Every structure is written in C-alpha cells, then in structure tokens.
Structure 1
Amino acid sequence: MKHSFTVALLLGVAASAGLSLLPGCDVIDQPVPPQATLSAGQRDTLALDSAETAQPAPLLVQRALLEDFTGQYCGNCPRAGVVVAALKQQHGERLVVLEDHVTDYFAGPKATEPKYQTDFRVPVVSQELDDAFGLSQLGLPKGAVSRTPRAGTSSAVLDYADWGNAVATQLAQTPQQELRLTKLYSPASRRLRLKVNARYLTPQPGRTFRLGIYVSEDSLLGWQKDYSRNPADVPNYAHRHVLRSALRGTFGQVLTASPTAGQSVATYLTYELPTQWQDKHCAIVAFLSDDATKQVVQVAEVKIK
C-alpha cells in the first residue's frame, strides 16, 4: 500500500548570547518514506515562533537515545524489549527510545509464513542502519545508546545486558547542546508544523553537527516470534516506539560547522501525517549528531497529538 504526503523544510540561523501503563494499540501498517521537500511558509514560521515563546522553557539536561534493533522474526528480541521498558520507566523523558526493525531475515516478510507478511522496515533507512552497524552479520537483538562506540572499539553496537550502564553513562554527561521542540498539529488536516531549535552551549571549533528528524509510532499490533512462549508465534504483540520515517535521512543533514557559544539554529518543518498512522501514538524524535563520529550528542522527543 502506498501513501502520499509532503514535507516542508526551512532553516533559519540566529546567533544569540542565550535562551531563555501501555496506551491503546492499533494494527500496524507499512512504513512510509518521505517523498518531497519544499519551503515552509512565513506564516508557519511566525506561528511556531509565537508558540515557542508562549510555552515554558524545557529543563536543560542531557538526554540519551536508545535504539533497539529488532525484528518480528527475532525470537529473543522480546527479552530486549523488557529491558527497554524498564529503562524507560527508570529514566522517563531523559531517555528517548526507538525500535528500529532491521535485516531482511528478522524484519522482512516471510513468503512461506502467512503470519509474518508485514514489512516493519523503513525503505532505505532500515538498510542503511543495517549496513552502518553490521547487524545482518551480528544478529539480533542488538542496540545502540546515542550511537556511542564501546570503550576501546569503533562499534556502537551493544548487547541488551549492557544498555543500562551505557544509558547511565550518557545521562551523567554535562550537556553541550540543547534541543527544543515546538509543534502545532491540526487533527482535521493531519498537518504538523514543527520547529527544532538547536542551541550550542559551548564553543566547539572544528566540529560539524547534523540534525536528524525521525517519526515514530507506538503500540502497533502484529505477529512476533518469542522463544520464551509456547507457542512461540505471538499474535497481537504490541510493538513499541516503532521507527516509521526519517525526514532528513538516516543520519540527518548537516546543520552547523564550528558553532560558537550561544549560537542557535532553528529548523522549521511541515509534515502531513499519513492517514494510516494513529496520530495519538505518533511522536517526533530529533537528534544532533557529530558528523565525524555519528555519535548522538543530544536528543529530544515530542508527541504529535
């Protein structure tokens, strides 16, 4: 099934000295990639600026991104999901979670098994994540915490037993960047207007940063292989925090080079949410990453509705 929608994007750069229980579930539909990029209108940017001014400033804290690389045909992946749920409950909004369905074997539809016909992968994005982290070779379940390499290695891929310590390490850092999300959403038109304001708290010469913007959808029902159950084929399994689309590509687009202390960069985006997605379960995840290392240095999340 194919869907159509429009993405609109405009970058605005401004330098300044400072700034002031499981939900209901829905049957999953196929992921949808972004199809177009246009210019956002001045009316949208002004409305978002006004909305940002009216809302309380968020707490300035370091957040972490936990990516659970998973698949519907991965029988050990539900155990990793239990770890994700516990960490999310422990850390709350400081931990942003994504469930990335990857690899042909674990996430792709099975021609000989009618139960597993849904393709949970995001076109292009899931393959690029698979290639970047070597997941088809490593197998699942695996994960990454802010895409930060393990000590003494160049690989960011972790077993789920190591996620807790990695999350704690990330959250203990002093933030050098701030991300602030402001959204306006019309349920009737399903049109989302979003402002992502990135502020650099310290001078960072020689570093280039990318901004990524993902769409996730929570509480999707589908089949799941689970080796801890008998039978192992589980119907109506609730898939949480599922990656649905990447509006600026898998690893984002270049945003800032050699930022100065207090520099702010505002990104304005308009997006029409596909009708097959449940807006009450959808969220925007924005992240800043180091262009050289791909490490996520800050992340933020906002629910669409």
Structure 2
Amino acid sequence: MKTANFLKIMMLFLAIGVASCSSNSTDDGTGGGSGGGGTTGLTIESDKSQVYTNTLVNFTVRDASGAVVTSTAVITVDGTPIAGSSALLSGVGVKNAVATVGTETSNTLAVEVIAPSFTTKALIEDYTGAWCGWCPRISQGIIDVHNSSNGDDVIAVAVHNGDSMAFPLEGQMRSQFGVNGFPTGILNRADRWSSVSGDAMNIQQPLQLLNAVKPVGLAINSSVSGSTVNATVKVGFDIEQSNLKLVAVLLQNGVVASQTNYTSNFGGGSSLPNFVHNDILKAAFTDIFGDAIPAAEQVGGGVYSVDLSATSSGVNSSDWDIVAFVVNASGEVVNVQKASVGSNKDFD
C-alpha cells in the first residue's frame, strides 16, 4: 500500500514538472514587448541619408514586425512635428528625426544636409560639317553663349561629319542620340538645342542648364608627350550615386578650313574660306558612351581617380583641350569639366 502511494506521489510530481516545462517553453518573447530575444519597438527610415539644403525627404515608420505604420505615427525633425511623412530640410547640418506611435518611440535617424561643392556646367555636342551651310548657325550660337554671363560654363564639342575633321565614331554617336540632320545641337546628351531663326539659336536654353545643383564634379590634370596625352581625371561626389559612367575626349582648336555658309553670320557669303574651327572632337580617352565608375567609388565625400591616355597627331598644349563628363544610367550628362592639355584643372 505504501509502495502504491509512493508511486502515485512520484507520478504527480512528474506531471507537475512536465506541465511547468511545457509552459516555460512557449515564453520566448516572440510575441513582442521588451522582453525575450524578439524584435521590439518602432524604426524610422528615410529615402535619403544625405541631401542638399531645401530637399524633400520622405520618412517611413515600421512597427516591431516590420509592418509600415507611417500613417499612424507622429514624426518630428529636431523636435518639431512635421505634417505627414515628408519634410523639406533646409540649413546645413545634421537633422534628427524621431517617430512615435502611442507610447512607443523609434530610433533617432540622422539625415545630413550639406552645401553643394561643385560648379554646374553643361555640354553642347555640335553635329556639324564644313560642307553644311546651316551649321554656322550653331557655331555662332556657341559664341553667343560664351559671351553671356557664366557662358564659359557651357562647354562645346564639335562632332564633324564628311570633312577632313570627321570623327571616326560620329556615325555611332548620331545613331545613339537620334541625330538625323545637320546641324544638330544636343544639350547634355538629352535635349535638342532649339533655333529661333535661320541665323540664331535659343541662347537661354543651354544657360538655363546651369541653374541645377549637381552632386558630382570633375578635375583634370594632364601632360603631353609626343602625340600622346596622359590625363588623370578625378570625379568628386557630394552625395552617394550609382550607375555613373565617365567620358573623356580630346579636342583640337584653331583649324582654318573653308566652311559653306547659308546664314548671315560671320559676315555672310556662301563660302567662308578662312573659317576657324574650334572644339573639334579628335580622340577619346574612354568609350565614347562612357566607362563605368566602380560602384564602390561612388560614395558621398569620396573621389574616384583614373589615369587615361589618348593619341592624336599634332597635339600640343596651346591648341588642344580635354573635356571630361559624367553620365547617368540614361546616358544624360550629370556634370562636365574642360581643361587645356598640359594643365591642372582642380575641382571648382
């Protein structure tokens, strides 16, 4: 009898122990709250971590499970609540964003507001030829742009066709950018340059491109040895970028050759026997549509540097220039720089 009672007591203790272990095994903290090993609390994110002043930043708030709860959150930037989930950040410095939902408070998210470092410049690619009677319209337009305020920040490249100055890859370039006639001016590899008459171009169109702030800038340092130009091109980044490419080309100036003329520019006349051709595209240091900039180099505050070389007969430091520019994933020019061969042009 005692043995039977003892066995019953032992069975009771074992049952209590099993039940106790089973209850504890479900208390692993995965249901939320501050205890256990699960994810807890709110998080706030932004679509940009570094911006220029007066830039709109969008915030997203998530709960402990990762679900978006932005619509129910109150977001403050430097302690001031914002309307909705977007804020126009102004003033250089670090802005701190925090979100609350009920009694829960998120992490503090820092967004850096910076001032632009680089001058914005623009590119005109002039598809031209000495045989083209209307081409002096764009030649005159480039002169008029350069004579305007800040006009030197608009950089020209003359892509010749069907004459002694023709660039070997101009056919590929025409195909890429949809050039079907001469003259054609392409601005920043994106827009057609408009004329206002048979003699004149819309001067304000390229100048207006200088008003946009650009996140990258360029520097060029070069030397010439015989017929070879060696150049170090640097790309500086204010803000992290992606999918950018670098294009660098060699230009010749001061070539005197006859130019057909249907305009009233340059004194008029159907032929200009002593016409001075400038900005002639002669050679490329890179693929004419761009060499990829390594993704790891496109970091805010960083500088990408590459050594390049190109060869052309007659090259010298008085009549030749280097033009380097960065294009985005769509092939559009982001920013551009120009320097005389044999000179050192720093970021500006």
Offset at residue 255 of structure 1 (A): 1.1
Q: CA deviation at 1:184?
A: 3.0
> Which consecutive unaligned segments of at least 5 residues does structure 1 have?
1-58, 102-106, 109-117, 149-155
Counterparts of 1:183 and 1:60, CA distance in 2: 20
Percentage of matched positions with identical amino acids:
21
Cα distance 1:129–1:272, how it changes in 2: closer, same or farther (>3 A)? closer
Query: Map of 1:1-305 to 2, 5 A cutoff?
Result: 60-90=118-148, 91-101=150-160, 107-108=161-162, 118-123=163-168, 125-136=169-180, 139-148=181-190, 156-161=191-196, 163-186=202-225, 189-204=226-241, 207-228=242-263, 231-257=269-295, 259-274=298-313, 276-291=314-329, 293-305=330-342
Q: Which structure is richer in relative contact order (CA contacts within 8 A, separation 6 or more)? A: 1
The TM-score, its normalising length taken from structure 1, stands at: 0.65
Contact 1:289 1:295 in 2 (8 A): yes
Once residues 93 and 135 of structure 1 are traced to their aligned partners in structure 2, the CA distance between those partners, rounded to angstroms, is 25
Q: What CA RMSD, in Å, does the superposition of the two structures yield over aligned residues?
A: 2.2
Alpha-carbon distance in 1 for matches of 2:337, 2:316? 21
Do the aligned residues in 2 keep the contact of 1:141 with 1:159 (CA within 8 Å)?
A: no
Deviations along 1:39-76, one digit per CA (max 9) or x if unpaired, are: xxxxxxxxxxxxxxxxxxxx821111111221111111
What's the CA shift for 1:299? Answer: 0.6
1:9 corresponding residue in structure 2: none
Q: Which residue of 2 aligns with 1:39?
A: none
Structure 1 stretch displaced more, 293-302 or 162-171: 162-171
Closer, same or farther: CA 126–287 of 1 in aligned 2, 3 Å: same
Q: How far off its partner does 1:120 sit?
A: 2.2
Query: What CA distance in whole angstroms lies between the structure 2 residues aligned with 1:158 and 1:254?
Result: 27
Structure with larger Rg: 2
| Count of aligned pairs | 217
| Structure 2 residue ranges without an equivalent (≥5) | 1-116, 343-348
With normalisation by structure 2, the TM-score equals 0.58
Question: Are the aligned partners of 1:288 and 1:298 in contact in 2 as well (CA < 8 Å)?
Answer: yes
Q: How far is 1:278 from its partner? A: 5.0
Contact 1:179 1:300 in 2 (8 A): yes
Q: Partner of 2:147: helix, strand, or coil?
A: helix
- Structure 1 residue 135: Cα displacement: 1.9
